Amino acid sequence: MPLLGEKFPELEVKTTQGMMKLPDDFKGKWMVFFSHPGDFTPVCTTEFVAFQKRYDQFKELNAELIGLSVDQVPAHIKWIQWIKENLGVEIQFPIIGDELARVAKTLGIIHPAKGTNTVRAVFIVDPQGIIRAILYYPQEIGRNMDEILRMLKAFQTADANHVSIPADWPNNEIMGDEVILPLPQDIKSAEERMNQPNCYDWWLCHKKL
């Protein structure tokens, strides 16, 4: 299975919006690739509605969504029709049909104890096609979409400013919405930080962007 920091595998996939090449078709954008155990299942249905409700927020962060399960594309189509007719939500992002589990096996997301079901996983891939985060959830617990959005914002903030992001940012218990400065690379720089008001110690300094 691919690891953090590695290139997302090159895949040609069949989706509800036609054939696509990954990650090439999302080049220059962040890709949120997520798998779900199966169509017409309760938790997955709530997740798809939640993803769609936040789709504009993902787009504002230059990110695109793409889903996958080991169901066939016609099953995906019927399911998203059901969601629209019964829940009033139109799913606008593509869903990969992977009935032979080719893509799922490449990504290592076949559930080991549930036959051919796919793991509830998320891959956050940056505009260069590099995997930046991998999240796994059990079948009985749905994902927190706001956390995925928070991670995208955090990655983009960290990349643009060469900083690190504290826990629960932007509502950290110690430093609020501020970010963490990189560690000093020499003794002189470390000593200069000792008396600075934005430092708890030379290795724990923060600033407001």
Residue with tokens 């995906």: 76
Query: To 10 degrees, the CA torsion angle through 42, 53, 169, 4?
Result: 70
- Measured from the Cβ of residue 6, the count of other Cβ atoms closer than 10 Å reads 11
Q: CB-based contacts of 163: which residues, under 8 Å, 6+ apart?
A: 157, 179, 180, 181, 182, 207, 209
Catalytically active residues are 44
Q: CB-based contacts of 156: which residues, under 8 Å, 6+ apart?
A: 30, 61
Q: β-strand 18-22 against 11-15: which pairing, if any?
A: antiparallel
User: Residue 173 is encoded by which pair of tokens?
Assistant: 């218990």
